[in-house]
Amino acid sequence: MSDKTSLPPDLPAGWTGTAPDADALFAMAEAAFETMPDVFKPHIKGVVIAIEEFADDEILAALEIEHPHDLTGLYEGRPLTERSVGESGGMPDRVTLYRIPILVEWIETGEKLEWLVRHVLIHEIGHHFGFSDDDMHALEAMA
């Protein structure tokens, strides 16, 4: 008789048989947010984290992305490097994580889902700081 508790080797580690819902992904994003280095925390305090299934057609068109699975996250706001000291008001900066594309990448790569959510979140927060991709890789290594 086979062991029903062991997973086939081609499934991602941590897979429980169902896809994590938006609340589970949000909890992972919040946990990742808390791992940010203390020096950055005052500057990201007001950043809103949202979970959506996919980016809408308008966002995909604006970013010239053809397939909704190709966008795992989006930063919306004005990077800190483009703000003036006297600036106030406006909508809060927002990082949206797209659940289905993240889950597709999780399945395709076999990465731990918590790591993938953290990776996407940190990349998008990097845009809040006006960081280059190299800067974001360094930030990720620190977190």
The tens digit of pLDDT for each residue in 87-108 reads 566 678 899 999 999 999 999 9
The phi, psi pair for 132, rounded to 5°, reads -80, 170
pTM of model > 0.85:
no
Task: Please check the confidence at residue 40 and state whether its pLDDT lies above 70.
Answer: yes
Mean pLDDT, range 58-62, rounded to an integer = 94
CA atoms within 13 A on the CB side of 54: 11
Mean pLDDT, range 103-115, rounded to an integer = 92
Fill in the amino acid letter for 19. A
Task: Please check the confidence at residue 14 and state whether its pLDDT lies above 60.
Answer: no
Task: Please check the confidence at residue 2 and state whether its pLDDT lies above 90.
Answer: no
Q: How far apart are CA 124 and CA 141, in angstroms?
A: 15
CB atoms within 10 A of CB 83: 13
pLDDT at 12: 52
Task: Please check the confidence at residue 28 and state whether its pLDDT lies above 80.
Answer: yes
